[in-house]
Amino acid sequence: MSQDSSESKEEKKRRKREKKEKKKRKRDSSVGPSTSLSSQVLEKKVKRLDDDDNHDPLENVASNSPFQRKKASILLSLAPAAMVNPSKAMHTSMQSMLLKYSDGLGGVLLSFDNINVDKSKNDGSFGRILNEMPHIHFYATCDVLIFNPSVGTSLTGVVNETFPSHVGLLVHELFNAMISAESLRESGFSFDADLNEWSTVDTMTPIAIEDSIKFTVEKLHECNGLISLECKDPIIME
């Protein structure tokens, strides 16, 4: 290897380090007190969007929003001991579903309200016992907020890990997402083994921990109620 090419490589590394340090200084100067986005915070955020756009509270926040508010009817299975206080038991059953993916709801349950027995699907206010199972089954209606990003939805996540195989992100501080090495290269990124980081080929801007990345949802995976997003078309947000 010639001296010129060696110096060129060192110059590239220096420029990357400078960009990384500049981004870190900018991020540190703009970070306020740390907060945690609970489901209640997400509920308030979506409600503000509803109020701003004068939407019906049970309609989608926006056509391209990953959040959806709707009235749902869901089947709950209660133990015989729950008949002492069925309303409390239904509330407890719904609480156990929070932050988990539900096929019946079509997304991850973030919050619920106004839970009542669905008399139109039950025998009035009565539940049903099926076959020899002891549980009593009730259909209940409630207003729910779910997270259900469809393929093609644009989201923003915060980088929490980088590897040669992928970059991991956290979306709304609750949901895991990843961008594969193949998608990164297709979007103009390359991996520097010496610096152990991904960076843009043209401007050599590195992807650092806590960077915000805008991306497009390509696939959604679900396992035991937990979801993860597989993404493409990453863009580093300034």
| Residue-wise DSSP of 71-133 | EEEEEEEE-GGGGGSHHHHHHHHHHTTTTSEETTTTEEEEEEEEEEE-TTTTBTTB-B--TT-
**Where does the pLDDT of residue 212 fall: very low under 50, low under 70, confident under 90, or very high at 90 and above?**
very high
Domains, the chain, in order of start with CATH, read 39-147 (3.30.1490.120), 150-238 (2.40.50.140)
pLDDT of the residue at 219: 95
What residues contact residue 169 under an 8 Å CB cut-off, 6+ apart? 157, 158, 159, 160, 176, 177, 178, 179, 213, 215, 231
**Calpha distance 102→146 (Å, rounded):** 9
| 223 has a pLDDT exceeding 50 | yes
Strand partners, 219: 230
Is 0.95 surpassed by the pTM of this model?
no
| 96 has a pLDDT exceeding 80 | yes
Going by C-alpha positions, the residue among 13, 108, 121 that lies closest to residue 75 is 121
**Where does the pLDDT of residue 1 fall: very low under 50, low under 70, confident under 90, or very high at 90 and above?**
very low
Helix (H, G, I), strand (E, B) or coil at 219: strand
| 40 has a pLDDT exceeding 90 | no
Buried b (16+ CB within 10 A) or exposed e, 47-56: eeebeeeeee
Report residue 173: phi and psi, to 5°.
Answer: 60, 20
pLDDT of the residue at 64: 67
Neighbour count for residue 194 (Cβ, 10 Å):
9
Specify burial of residue 79 (Cβ count, 10 A radius: 0-12, 13-18, 19+).
exposed
- CA distances to 25, 118, 210, 235, 238 from 30, rounded to whole Å, are 9, 49, 12, 20, 12
| 207 has a pLDDT exceeding 60 | yes
Query: Which token pair is 157?
Result: 């996540």
